[in-house]
Amino acid sequence: MSSNKPVVSIRAATVADVPTIFDFIKGLAIYEKLEREHVGTHADLTATLFGERPYAHVFIASLPEKGDVGFCLYFFNYSTFLCKPGIYLEDLFVKEEARGLGVGKALLKHLAKEALRLGCGRLDWQALDWNTPAINFYLGIGAKSLDEWKSFRLTGENLTKFAGSS
């Protein structure tokens, strides 16, 4: 049984990939209708991904004759109930011209294998509630929607204000 889908190559990003990662993040921000929130710079990415203390890691997906077409950015979290580390998938993005070719699935599967290799107990991520294709895909691979949980965030002035409060 043959497949018409091209072979996806996945590799760990290096500092030379910062412009590519930046462009992927910009594409993701546009897709998610959050372009106004994309305020980071190449220097920010370099410092936080490849500096003295990397805060996150990136895998880049490539296709023959198309080059780099997608990425996932992740970092480690911890489950106190499992007493094991976990991986949190912050972003997964595939360029429009490469969607439907198995790139997203390959990136997610690669990350799942990395989680198991490192002894992680789980792989977590979020999806925007309007992103039905992604939600259906995630449910189709066996992921559970954690509908009983609500996400919260402190950022900017609210983070500063709360941190300084007594």
Say whether 31 is catalytic: no
Q: Which of 31, 74, 78, 138 is catalytic?
A: 138
First CA to last CA distance, the chain: 65
Q: Write out 7-74 in H/E/C secondary structure.
A: CCEEEECCHHHHHHHHHHHHHHHHHCCCHHHCCCCHHHHHHHHHCCCCCCEEEEEEECCCEEEEEEEE
Phi, psi of 69 (to 5 degrees): -125, -5
Instruction: List active site positions.
Output: 138
